[in-house]
Amino acid sequence: MRTVAAFLVASASVCSAFTAPRLARTPRAVRPTAARQPAVVMAAAEKKKIVVLGGDGFCGWPTTLHLSDAGHEVIMVDNLSRRNIDIELGCSSLTPIESPEVRCKAWKEVSGKDVRFVNIDVAKEYHVMLKFLEDEKPDAVIHFGEQRAAPYSMRNDKAKRYTIDNNLSGTHNLLCAIVESGLDIHLVHLGTMGVYGYGTSGGEIPEGYIDVILPGGRPSKILHPAYPGSIYHATKVLDATLFQFYNKNDGLRITDLHQGIVWGTNTPQTVLDERLINRFDYDGDYGTVLNRFLMQSALGIPLTVYGTGGQTRALIHITDTAKCIELAINNPPETGAPVEILNQVAETRRVRDIAQMVASKTGTPLSYVNNPRNEASENELDVSNEKFRNLGLDPITLDERLFDEVTTICQKYKDRCVLDKVMPTSYWNKKRTEDIETKGAVLSTEEVIVGTEADSPFQQATITKEDVKVGGKK
C-alpha cells in the first residue's frame, strides 16, 4: 500500500514539475485494447442504465433526477457519509432534506419514474460493489462518491486522513470492480478545476492535456501539470493518475470532468415537490462561495470575503452540472481512446466582484476576513470549455434574477441557520492559524451603496471602508 501511494505521489509530482513550450496539437494514435463484454446490447437511441455514486449529495441528487427525467434507468448509490458529517460539524443543510427513501418515493409520485437507492460504502465494501455491478450490468457509472470540500479536508488530521482514505480507496475499488466485472462500463468522474491550481497560469488552461517537447526534441502530449491547493484537490490529482493507468492497462473508458464551483440550489426536477429539495450548505467548510454570500445577505450577515477577494474562480450553476453529466454520458469515448477530460465551467469571476454584486443588490456590508487558505491573494484564471460548448451546452451565467431563487430559499429556511458556523474554522497550516490568532479573523469591512451596479452588474461599486477591531485593537 505504501509503495502504491508513493508511486501515485511521485507520478503527480513529475507532472506538476514539468513545463515546456507549447506545440500545435498532433493526432493521437488509438491504442488497441482487448475486447470487453458489453454491459447491455442496445440500439443507438435506447436509454441507458446508469449508477450514480454519491447520488444523495449536493450534485448527485439533482443529477439523478435529471437523468431519470430524461428517460434513463437510474440507481443511486450512497453511504450517507455527508449526512454523518453534518452531525460531526453540528450544522445540517439549510434546506430540510428528506431521507433517500422518501426522496425516491416522492419522485415516483410526481414523475411516474423509478429511482432505486442502494446503500454501499464503495471505499470499504469492495466485494459488495463488485457483485452489484455484476448483477446490475450498468452502461455507465457516475462517480460523485468522494468527500468534496477542500476546507473540510484541511480541518484536522482526522479529516485529512479520512479524505485520502475515502476518496482514493473509493476510486480505486471502483476501477478494480469494473475490471473484474468484465463489463464495458463508461466511468464518468466529477473532478475539479482545482487540480490545475489557482496561481496565475499565464494563459488559457486547456482541457486536460498539453503538447510538449521532451528532451531530444521529441513531441509528446501529457496531462496538464497539477498544482493542488488542499488534500481534497490532491485526491482528485491522484484519481487522474489512476484513471490514466487503468485506461492504458485495462482499456477502461473514462471521462473526467474538471468542474468549477457550483452555485444555485434547485433544478427543474427538484422544485416539483418539497420532498425533492436539494441540500444547501452555508457553513465555512461546505458552503460554496456564491451560495454562502446569498445566504449571508438574506440574513443580514456581512459577506465573508477571504483576504482581498482577488481570487478568480470558475463557476457553474447546479442545473448545468446535471446537463453536463448527461452530455458526457451521451458522448462516451471510443474503446481504445485516451481518458476524455472536459472543463465543466460556465465562466470565471473574481470573488470580490461577486461579493460586490450581491452587496449592491441587498445593501449587505462586506467583511474581509483573514484568509484561512494558503493561496495567492490575487490570481487570473482563463479556462477553455470548448468541448462542452461544441456538444451543445449553453451555460447559465451569473444573473441577479437567478439570485432571487436562492435568496427566497434562504429567507424561507433562515431559522435553521446556525450563525456561529458561518465563519471559517479550518485553517490550511500552522502559519495561517498563528496569523489569524495574532491579527484576528476579521480585517476590515466595506459598506456598498445599494443600486450602484444597476447599469453593469460587475462594475466597481462605490464603497466606504471602515476599519474594525483586529486582535482587540482599533
Q: Percent helix, strand, coil in the chain (nearest 5)?
A: 40, 20, 40
**26 an active-site residue?**
no
Q: Which three cell numbers stand for residue 159?
A: 479529516
Task: Sheet with 49-53: list strands edge to edge.
Answer: 115-118, 73-77, 49-53, 140-143, 186-192, 253-259, 340-344
What is the amino acid identity at position 135?
Answer: D
Question: Which residue among the candidates 126, 196, 227, 232 is catalytic per the annotation?
Answer: 232
Q: What are the DSSP E strand ranges found in 260-395? A: 261-263, 303-306, 312-317, 340-344, 347-350, 366-369
Question: Which residue among the candidates 49, 63, 196, 236 is catalytic per the annotation?
Answer: 236
**306 an active-site residue?**
no
Rounded CA separation 228/360 (Å): 33
**What burial class does residue 310 get, using C-beta atoms within 10 Å of its C-beta: 0-12 exposed, 13-18 middle, 19+ buried?**
middle
Contact of 189 with 256, CB cutoff 8 Å: yes
Q: What are the DSSP E strand ranges found in 144-230? A: 183-184, 186-192, 209-214, 218-223
Rounded CA separation 1/366 (Å): 47
Rounded CA separation 378/404 (Å): 29
Q: What are the DSSP E strand ranges found in 78-153? A: 115-118, 140-143
Q: Measured in whole angstroms, how far is the alpha carbon of residue 97 from the centre of its chain?
A: 20
Give φ, ψ of 406 to 5 degrees.
-70, -40
Question: Which residue among the candidates 63, 95, 192, 364 is catalytic per the annotation?
Answer: 192
**What burial class does residue 124 get, using C-beta atoms within 10 Å of its C-beta: 0-12 exposed, 13-18 middle, 19+ buried?**
middle
**108 an active-site residue?**
no
C-alpha distance from residue 230 to each of 148, 217, 341, 400 (Å): 11, 35, 21, 31
Q: CA nearest 260: which of 65, 102, 116, 397? A: 397
Radius of gyration, CA atoms only, the chain: 22
**Annotated active-site positions, please?**
192, 232, 236
